[in-house]
């Protein structure tokens, strides 16, 4: 067994858009000799509960439990493979583990606060199309502060999930072995985004082993149709091989 990998999904509709890519990559990893575990977080997919009942802490706990189960199956090197906000969850979960882990990041979100603001703006944009967007952001913020859920694009967002996401930042735990960071761009030979480049250099300066690459392909987690990014699949496997 070359490694044990837990996949940590992205947020809300990004999860649904990414299911095919996650499945393709998991199968390719399995062929390479990796033990891959994919879970649905509380209130998502086939898991118990509703999305509106989820909390950030519960999601972190789900990832920790997945790692514990996988460790019972094999003592192979542990990887946490996150997509978008899944990278935030992976880092927080790793901080609760006893052993050092490796990370595979796909287009990581570096600021939960910024991501939450963007998610809330989906509601504002929808209301503006009907001419009723004024004051919507403030109303949602007030509702969440009063621990009342808000509905956004078909998802009921609870205050416990929103507050946890908002306070989350992409930070590596001290017990980190290796990091493989991958971003997707529509342009060949594109450079890392400025936010990514800053974070990667900061981690390297702190002594972490970080490799980062950009591949060309569609941003499949947000496209209208289900898309594939073959370059991301192959580069992910290459980075896992290099780490081994």
Q: Last residue of some domain: 168, 189, 211? A: 168
- Sort strands 150-152 and 155-157 into parallel, antiparallel or unpaired: antiparallel
Report the pLDDT value the prediction gives residue 189, as an integer from 0 to 100: 87
Greater model confidence, 134 or 52? 52
Domain co-membership, 101 together with 19: yes
Determine the structural domain holding residue 133 and report its residue range: 112-168
Which residue pairs from 16-19 have beta carbons closer than 8 angstroms and sit at least 24 positions apart in sequence?
17/220, 17/221, 17/222, 17/223, 17/226, 18/83, 18/84, 18/220, 18/221
For the cut 80, the answer to whether the pLDDT of residue 127 exceeds it is no
For the cut 80, the answer to whether the pLDDT of residue 134 exceeds it is no
Domain co-membership, 158 together with 104: no
Report the pLDDT value the prediction gives residue 218, as an integer from 0 to 100: 97
Each residue of 1-19: pLDDT tens digit?
A: 899 999 999 999 999 999 9
DSSP 150-219: EEETTEEE-HHHHHHHHT-B----SSEEEEEEEEEESSTTPPPPHHHHHHHHHHHHTT-EEEEEEEES--
Domain co-membership, 93 together with 188: yes
CB distance 88 to 112 below 8 Å: yes
Domain co-membership, 84 together with 180: yes
- CATH at residue 92: 3.40.50.1820
Q: Total domain count for the chain?
A: 2
Report d(CA 8, CA 29) in Å as an integer.
15
The share of the chain scoring above pLDDT 70, in percent, equals: 98
Q: Last residue of some domain: 150, 168, 186? A: 168
Strand order in the sheet with 3-8: 34-38, 3-8, 78-83, 101-106, 176-185, 209-216
Domain co-membership, 132 together with 91: no
Q: Residue 104: in which H helix or E strand, if any?
A: strand 101-106
Q: Residue 115: in which H helix or E strand, if any?
A: helix 112-128
Neighbours of 212 (CB within 10 A): 19
For the cut 80, the answer to whether the pLDDT of residue 131 exceeds it is no
């Amino acid at each position: 067994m070359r490694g044990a990998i837990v996949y940590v999904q992205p947020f809300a509709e990004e999860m649904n858009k990414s299911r095919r890519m996650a499945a393709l990559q998991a199968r390719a990893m399995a062929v390479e000799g990796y033990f891959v575990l994919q879970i649905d977080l509380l209130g998502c997919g086939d898991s118990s509960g509703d999305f509106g009942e989820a909390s950030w802490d519960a999601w972190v706990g789900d990832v920790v439990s997945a790692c514990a189960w996988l460790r019972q199956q094999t003592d192979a090197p542990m990887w946490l493979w996150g997509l978008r906000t899944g990278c935030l969850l992976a880092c927080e979960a790793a901080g609760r583990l006893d052993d050092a882990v490796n990370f595979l990041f796909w287009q990581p979100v570096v600021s939960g606060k910024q991501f939450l603001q963007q998610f809330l703006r989906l509601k504002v944009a929808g209301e503006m199309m009907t001419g009723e967007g004024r004051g919507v952001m403030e109303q949602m913020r007030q509702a969440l502060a009063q621990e009342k859920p808000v509905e956004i694009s078909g998802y009921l967002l609870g205050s416990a999930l929103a507050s946890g996401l908002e306070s989350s930042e992409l930070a590596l735990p001290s017990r980190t072995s290796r990091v493989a960071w991958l971003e997707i761009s529509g342009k060949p030979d594109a450079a890392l985004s400025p936010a990514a480049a800053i974070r990667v250099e900061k981690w390297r300066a702190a002594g972490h082993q970080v490799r980062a690459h950009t591949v060309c392909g569609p941003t499949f987690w947000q496209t209208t149709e289900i898309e594939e990014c073959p370059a991301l699949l192959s580069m992910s496997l290459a980075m896992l091989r290099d780490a081994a």
